[in-house]
Amino acid sequence: MDGPTIRTVFGNELRGALRDRTLTTHFIVIPLLLYPVLLWLGITVALLYDAGSEDTSYRVGISPGLDPALAGELRADPSIDAFFASSGAETGGPGGGFDATAGPVPGGDGLPGGCVITADLSTDRGRTAAGVLEGLARDVRAAGFARLRDSLGIGRAEWEVFRISTSNEAGGRDMGGFILGLLLPATFAVMVSIGCFYTAVDATAGERERGTIETLLSTGADRFSILAGKYLSVLVSGMTSGLLNTASMILCVSAILGPLLRSEGEEISFAVEPGAAFSAVFASALLSALLSALMIASSSLARNYKEGQAMVTPVYLLSVLPVIFMQDPSISFSVSTAAVPVLNAALLLRDSLTGPAEPLPMVISAVSTALFCLAALWAASSLLSREEAAFPGEATGKRSLYSLLRGRRNTGHA
């Protein structure tokens, strides 16, 4: 390996990537703006929904014999247009059918009377109307209980019999770490992957499509150093993507979610401890190192962007796997999970947000990732040393990937 060659290729690849709008969009702009845009969209949609729901009213039929208190509540509720129905739920009021109907259930055999709510629960309006009716019916029942308690002369505390309350001993910082741990790791893996994806394809398949691979391989540089320089540039773009995305999420959550939770009486801090920040950088490096190597290796076979994207997609999907395991809180960053690539980085990030990570699993993660990376880079280097790497399909008269895989090694392997 030749240090100056690695530095030169690395600088060239990174400069090229920073000058390409598509690449910068994928490894800088999207990771940075994803959460602000998502939050803005979420808030806008929520506001629109609230504004729309304020004007919405539900047509509710009141069947004869319904508890007068409940009937009164229904008529008084502004979100309900109540109509007296002469018979069952299907009876239409003026202009069409009801969203829901409320009818009486007679008491007897030791059971109290009440109401039955009928609605078409396969429709949004039916479900919402039934929910509103149920809420009002519960209020009427609660008022009934209060009247009974008063008539029996029982105090409030006696009536409650057994009080339950929960106290949260976690501090504001712990809760902030917990919330970030829920939100971050899943998208973190995807973002690192996106950051690596396009730069890897550009550095390999893009080089062939542009016709620069022959120019590059005709220089007096050794193949592995060229590959190492390209690998480092992909790694840096993946790490940049992951870290920008993490910073963006923490800022968004602190600036928007924090004040909202504080207004609800929750004191939550989203400040990140230095240890957690180090772990985030370490996790980002682990994931980028592995995905870069795998993506470089898989796209080394490709002759153009289209083929490169198709070949890198399985690696991209691999990065989505941790999302599945993240849902299980019993899986944590430990000696056994530290050896599993991709998952180890996501778990390390999640767990480090709620407490310091153990050094031994971190070492195991680094070793495991290094082994996978070396295997992938060895494969990529072998492919780059074949004649068809510079002239895919041309020299042998074949255009299949199979020909590339079984092609002759060229003399420029030094």
Partner 1 sequence: MPDSAVTAVDLCKSFVDDSRGVIRAVDEVSFHVDRGEVLGILGVNGAGKTTTLRMLATLIEPTSGTASVDGHDVREDPKAARRSLGFLSSTTALYPRLTARETLRFFARMNGYPRERLEERVEKVVEMMSIGSYADTRIERLSTGMKQKVSIGRAMVHDPPVLVFDEPAAGLDVLNAHEMLAMIESLRDCGHAVVFSTHVMSEAERICSRIAVIHQGRILAEGTVPGLLERTRADTLEDAFVSLVESARV
Report in angstroms how near the CB of residue 231 gets to partner 1 at its nearest: 17
Per CB under 8 A, which of residues 391..410 are in contact with partner 1?
Answer: 391, 395-398, 408-410
- Give the integer Cα–Cα distance in Å for 62 and 137: 13
Segment interacting with partner 1, rule: CB under 8 A, options 141-149, 218-226, 286-294, 347-355: 218-226
Asked whether position 53 contacts partner 1 by CB under 8 A, the answer is no
Asked whether position 205 contacts partner 1 by CB under 8 A, the answer is no
Report in angstroms how near the CB of residue 395 gets to partner 1 at its nearest: 6
Asked whether position 14 contacts partner 1 by CB under 8 A, the answer is no
Asked whether position 413 contacts partner 1 by CB under 8 A, the answer is yes
Asked whether position 67 contacts partner 1 by CB under 8 A, the answer is no
342 SS3 class:
coil
Segment interacting with partner 1, rule: CB under 8 A, options 2-10, 148-156, 192-200, 290-298: 2-10
Is there a contact between 101 and 118 (Cβ–Cβ < 8 Å)? yes
Report in angstroms how near the CB of residue 190 gets to partner 1 at its nearest: 27
Alpha-carbon dihedral angle through residues 29, 33, 35, 38, given to the nearest 10 degrees:
-110
Per CB under 8 A, which of residues 222..281 are in contact with partner 1?
Answer: 222
**Edge to edge, what strands does the sheet with 80-84 contain?**
80-84, 58-62, 100-105, 114-119
The DSSP call for residue 204 is: T
Asked whether position 28 contacts partner 1 by CB under 8 A, the answer is no
- Give the integer Cα–Cα distance in Å for 186 and 246: 11
Asked whether position 3 contacts partner 1 by CB under 8 A, the answer is no
Report in angstroms how near the CB of residue 43 gets to partner 1 at its nearest: 38
List 220, 259, 265, 274, residue binding partner 1 (CB under 8 A) = 220
Asked whether position 414 contacts partner 1 by CB under 8 A, the answer is yes
The DSSP call for residue 412 is: G
Per CB under 8 A, which of residues 332..391 are in contact with partner 1?
Answer: 387, 390-391
List 3, 52, 155, 211, residue binding partner 1 (CB under 8 A) = 211
Nearer to partner 1, 53 or 212 (CB): 212
Asked whether position 164 contacts partner 1 by CB under 8 A, the answer is no
| Residue 135 tokens, joined | 């809420």
How many residues touch partner 1 (CB under 8 A)? 35
Cβ burial 61-70 (10 Å sphere, 16+ → b, else e): bbbeebbeeb
Residue with token string 């079984």: 406
Q: Count CA atoms closer than 13 A to 34's CA, side-chain side.
A: 23
| DSSP code per residue over 121-186 | TTSHHHHHHHHHHHHHHHHHHHHHHHHHHHHHT--HHHHH-S-------S-HHHHHHHHHHHHHHH
CA distances from 283 to 309, 343, 346 (A): 25, 10, 7
Give residue 208's identity as a one-letter amino acid code.
R
List 150, 214, 266, 267, residue binding partner 1 (CB under 8 A) = 214
Asked whether position 21 contacts partner 1 by CB under 8 A, the answer is no
List 215, 313, 332, 336, residue binding partner 1 (CB under 8 A) = 215
Give residue 254's identity as a one-letter amino acid code.
S
CA distances from 146 to 113, 139, 140, 160 (A): 17, 11, 10, 11
Question: Which residues of this protein are in contact with partner 1, per CB under 8 A?
Answer: 4-5, 8-9, 12, 15-16, 19-20, 210-212, 214-222, 387, 390-391, 395-398, 408-414
